Each structure stands twice: as structure tokens, then as C-alpha cells.
Amino acid sequence: MKRFFAPKKTLGAMDAEAAATLIARTADIALIVDQHGVIRDVSLGNDQLAAEIDDKWLNQAWVDIVTIESRPKIETLLRDVDGNAPVRWRQVNHPIEPGRPDLPVTYSVLPLANTRRIVAIGRDLRAVSAMQRRVAEVEQAIERDYSTLRFTETRYNLLFQISSEAVIIVDAATQRVTEANPAAAQLMGTSARRLIGRNFPEGFDAPSTQLIQGMLSAVRVAGRAPEIRVRRTQANTDLVATATMFRMSNASYFLVQFQAQGGKGDAPVLSKVRAKVLDVIETSPDGLVLTDLDGRILFANRAFLDLAQLATEEQARGERLDRWIGRPGADLDALKSNLRQHESVRMYSTTLRGEYGSEVDVEISAVAAPDGEQPCHGFSIRSVLRHSAQNKRVSGDSPRSLEHLTKMVGRMGLKDMVRESTDAIERMCIEAALELAGDNRASAAEILGLSRQSLYVKLRRYGLGDLSNVDPDDRAN
């Protein structure tokens, strides 16, 4: 901190009224506190604060108008006040009204000359807190959008890699290859990595090269062009070529497709890729099931058979999936209804029952494949036992889902079920708020719309956290 060089000379004989005006205009809240820590005068910087506080703080001890965890900070400010010490700011929270968020204020104190009183200058931090909440909400929205984008990119890459047609993406400005799938690399007689960056077209006879250039020019002007027939020089094969144009990141690209005449494509490459895909599906650690539109199983991999406690795939083939998944006639019908409307379902939580009585929590993602000779549905079934402790820290008897709640019917009365359900939901909300706030209880209380005292009561009730060893400076700031 840098002080005035000659305050007595430059400021003159400043009287009490001038000093009070200066303090009131530079601080949102200013308090005059006596040697006993009692507030003797209050200045409020705006009408909103005046309406909320008014004269309620006058003649009250400063420590009595702050939350419990803020009291040690007030005591430190009163104890360490020194006109020559570096200025230190400490954030405290004032309870306003029950059910409303606390008022966060950061204070610094200075002694008043020739008196045993001090002046506490405070800044209202509600705007900062609101901005922090908005930043957290924006970060969550970005994370959701990023997750959706990553899922879409994964699907695109999978389709691009396993396509039987040779697909090449060409930069419209430089006419160089920017991306090519394995079928295109096989067609060009090289690897996809070496194909990237090369000029396009390359490896075709002269008439075919002219036809491809004309097709690209037509696509550049009209957005589309009729298919053409071209010939590869080295392989001496006839191909059908089509092209479309698209824009991405302020640049234009051609998507060029090649297919062997007759529509069969490159069968050896396709068969190898399909064999690899089938191996991945069969050995996947998640259960993968293919059903017809009625929900009867057409294919099931080894992971699903293990979850369902089945020895062979023949035991599952032809059976309805809801024999093992969720409630018969309920969860599967809900999944099918969503697939008809949206063609995909993600992270549907339910249970899977084994043939010998085992039961595990699972999450199901599903996709509809309505086209082709036999329309079908695909289901990816993942056991959540391995991370249940991370996602749900509720005790074993607490109702964690509708499935658990319905199983309690007949074992306890309705009032008891409602009470336990409410407790479980309340505890999960508190845990989620603490996780979102990085275990900062001040922020967690604000997220939940609770006062600090109410949050601490609930933390003690559910045994969450160590309330006997709390660092007020770290937890509140």
C-alpha cells in the first residue's frame, strides 16, 4: 500500500462531516465500532442495503450480526487493528432474513485517531457471488454441449471408418486431401496417413481427371453434380464418383465418394473392418443387445450374458429383453416409446435381474435402426456398481430410485416411506451442492437457498463432513 506523502498539507483540516461523507461515498457499508466491539453508527451506500439493514445493527455487537463461521474473522479484525499495519480484507456473511441468502461483505478496519473506536469499511460482494454462479452455470452448459459434441464426433468417426464406400474430404481452396477413410486408402493403394495432404485428383487416367475436375467445379457453383464414371490407372478399375460440398470453420470442403460399379465397393476391406467391429462388440465390457421392434433379442454379447447369468446366447435369443431388464412391460416399453420419437436414448437408469436372483443397477443407452431389411433396436447396458459409491452416497436402506421405492411397499407404512425418501433426496441435494461448490459450505448454502445455520444443522444430522475442524478463512472465502 502506498500512502499520501503529505496528507496534512494536501487534505487540510478535514472535519468529521467531511470524513463521514468521504467514507460513505467510498464504501457500501461503513461501521463505527467502539472498544467493546459494539456498533455505534452505520452508513449504507445504496437504497437496497438501507431497506434490508436500516437501523437493525445499531448498538449491537459486531460478532452478533454475522454467521457463526464468520465470528472468528470479526474477532481477528478487532484484535489486530493497527493504523500502521498492512490493510487486510476479510469476507464475512450477514444473515438477512430466514430463507434468503446471506449478505457477503468484505471488511477492512482502521483506528480513529484520538479515540478508542475504529471504522470498518465494507464492500458488498453479492454482485461478485451472482457472477460466480453465472460462470458456474455457463461452465456446466459448456460441459453438456461438449459432451454432446464428443458423442456426435465419435459416431461420425465410427461411421467414417467402417464405411464400405471410399470417402475423401478435400479442401476446396487448395484441392488437397484433408481426410480419408480406410476404404479410400485401400482404393488409392496407400495408407490414409500418406494420402492426407496430397493433391486431388491423383492416380486417375486423363479423361477421368478432367471429369472429376468438372464435377468439382459444378459442385462449387451449384452445390451438387451428377455422378460420373472414372477409371483408376494402376488398379485398372471402373468407379462411380459423386461429390457434395459443405462448410466448416469458415472453410469449404468437398466430400467425394467412390464406389465400384455395381455397388459392391471394396469387399475385402469391408469384410476385414466388419470382422474387427464384430470382435469389438463381442468382447466389449458393456452388455450389447440387438432386438427386433417387439423387444425380442436377436443378438447378445458375452458381457450381457454374464450380467443375466446365462451360459449361451441361445438361451437369450428370441426372449423379450424385459425378462431381465427393469419392470416387465414398463421400462422396455418406455425405452421403445422414446426410440420411436427420438431414435436414441442415453443413460436410462434401471436394474437388471439375473437368472439366479442377482440384481444390479444398470444404465442403458439405446439407438433405433429403422432402415434395412430387418428394423431393429440396439441397447448398450452398463453396470453402475463400480461407481455407485461415487454417484450415490446414500445408505443402503434409502430409496435411491423408483424401483427401490416400490420394493418398500408392504415393508413399511406410507409415512415412513415418504420420510425416508425425503431424507434421501435432501441428503443427495446437499452432497451435490457441496461437490458443485468444491466443499465450500458458504457457497453450498447459497446454492441451496439455505442459511448457514440451517446447512450446518443438516450436515450434523446426516453426518456429512467434519464440522469440528473447520477453517473459517478457507471455507467462507
Statement to judge: residues 169 and 115 lie in one domain: no
C-beta of residue 351 within 8 angstroms of C-beta of residue 338: no
Average pLDDT across each block of 10 residues of the chain; the chain has 477 residues. List them in order: 65 72 83 91 85 85 91 88 73 86 89 84 87 87 83 77 82 88 81 83 85 88 81 77 83 85 50 66 85 88 88 86 78 82 82 85 86 80 61 43 59 71 83 77 81 84 64 44
Would 446 be classed as within a structural domain?
A: yes
Statement to judge: residues 274 and 385 lie in one domain: yes
C-beta of residue 199 within 8 angstroms of C-beta of residue 188: no
Would 32 be classed as within a structural domain?
A: yes
Cβ-proximal residues to 318 (8 Å cutoff; 6+ apart), any chain: 296, 297
pLDDT at residue 186 in the model: 80
Give the whole-angstrom CA distance, residue 288 versus residue 137: 35
Would 459 be classed as within a structural domain?
A: yes
Statement to judge: residues 32 and 77 lie in one domain: yes
Give the whole-angstrom CA distance, residue 437 versus residue 424: 20
Name residue 429's amino acid: C
pLDDT at residue 410 in the model: 57
C-beta of residue 350 within 8 angstroms of C-beta of residue 261: no
Would 233 be classed as within a structural domain?
A: yes
| Exposure letters 356-392 (e unless 16+ CB within 10 A, then b) | eeeeebbbbbbbbeeeeeeebbbbbbbbeeeeeeeeb
Would 397 be classed as within a structural domain?
A: no
- What value, to the nearest 5°, has the Cα angle with vertex 454 and ends 449 and 455? 70
Would 396 be classed as within a structural domain?
A: no
Helix (H, G, I), strand (E, B) or coil at 301: coil
- Residue 456 maps to which CATH number? 1.10.10
Statement to judge: residues 363 and 423 lie in one domain: no
Statement to judge: residues 380 and 275 lie in one domain: yes
- Residue 288 maps to which CATH number? 3.30.450.20
Statement to judge: residues 20 and 105 lie in one domain: yes
Q: What is this structure's pTM? A: 0.35
Task: Calculate the CA dihedral of residues 411, 417, 419, 425 and round it to 10 degrees.
Answer: 120
Statement to judge: residues 222 and 295 lie in one domain: no
| Boundary-marking domain end, from 94, 124, 154 | 124
HSE toward the beta carbon, residue 249, CA cutoff 13 A: 3
Per the structure, the complete domain to which residue 252 belongs is given by 165-265
When divided into structural domains, the chain yields a total of: 4
Statement to judge: residues 381 and 279 lie in one domain: yes
Statement to judge: residues 117 and 46 lie in one domain: yes
> E strands within 154-309?
166-171, 177-180, 228-231, 238-248, 251-260, 287-292, 297-300
CB 326: neighbour CB atoms within 10 A?
A: 22
| Boundary-marking domain end, from 389, 424, 457 | 389
| Boundary-marking domain end, from 249, 265, 281 | 265
pLDDT at residue 61 in the model: 93
pLDDT at residue 23 in the model: 80
DSSP line for 183-204: HHHHHHTS-HHHHTT-BSS-SB
Q: If you search the block for the grid coordinates 449478505, which residue do you land on?
A: 103
Would 120 be classed as within a structural domain?
A: yes
pLDDT at residue 63 in the model: 92
Statement to judge: residues 375 and 413 lie in one domain: no
Q: Residues 132, 134, 140, 143: is their CA dihedral positive or negative?
A: negative
Would 156 be classed as within a structural domain?
A: no
Task: Calculate the CA dihedral of residues 437, 439, 440, 445 and round it to 10 degrees.
Answer: 70
Statement to judge: residues 235 and 339 lie in one domain: no
User: How many residues does the structure list for the chain?
Assistant: 477
Give the whole-angstrom CA distance, residue 372 versus residue 448: 50
Name residue 28's amino acid: D
pLDDT at residue 270 in the model: 47
pLDDT at residue 471 in the model: 45
Statement to judge: residues 260 and 281 lie in one domain: no
C-beta of residue 28 within 8 angstroms of C-beta of residue 123: yes
